[in-house]
Structure 1
Amino acid sequence: MFAFIGAAYLKRNPDIINRPVASTVFNFIIALLHAAAEMIIVTPFFMSGALFTAEQLANGFVASVVLLVGLGTVIHSMLDYSISILVWKPLCTAMPQLRTSQD
């Protein structure tokens, strides 16, 4: 879901990668969508008690799902995006046919 939304937005606005503030905002919004989707998927497992230890369940929903899964996913997603940009820019320099916008 978040990848499709991000890809569709980048297809219409490919220059966003070259604007640091806009790229960071885009990264954060996509990370929030990713985290929301992860939390929606994990919540039924948390509520049923499956896949969580007694200690994790004792910490409660906020600590186990919102902080661990939600915040963890935001951080992980933002790092993944940042790494992909660090790889993409030199790759476009080495292989100009990959470039979809003017730098």
Structure 2
Amino acid sequence: MTIITLDGDLAIIKVTAARLDAAAGPAFKADIQAQLNGRAKRVLLDMGDVSFMDSTGLGVLVSLLKMLGKDGALAVAGAQPSVRRLFELTRLDTVFSLTDNVDSARAVLGD
């Protein structure tokens, strides 16, 4: 479901699942928590393959941001239009940096 690459304090997370919803969210959250375990302050979340996300998926992302702490940063790259609309409807596009691609997300995170 996820591929995590650590580069210093930057974690690049590629979400390989098509859905980030109530069925997949808890396992996704547990996987990220276990793999990161405080080792990253900046997270680049590549969501190009995710075609559907619900409130549980959003909750997982909010939890991930909280896990990073006050100095942490999270950028979402490549969100498909339906996923991007969910961020906008919930106004979470003001909390997360949404970018069109991984290179733009790296730039936003100062990498």
Q: Note whether the superposition's TM-score is higher than 0.5.
A: no
Larger Rg: 1
Q: If the length of structure 2 is used for normalisation, what is the TM-score? A: 0.28
Identify, as 1 or 2, the structure richer in strand: 2
Higher helix fraction (1 or 2) = 1
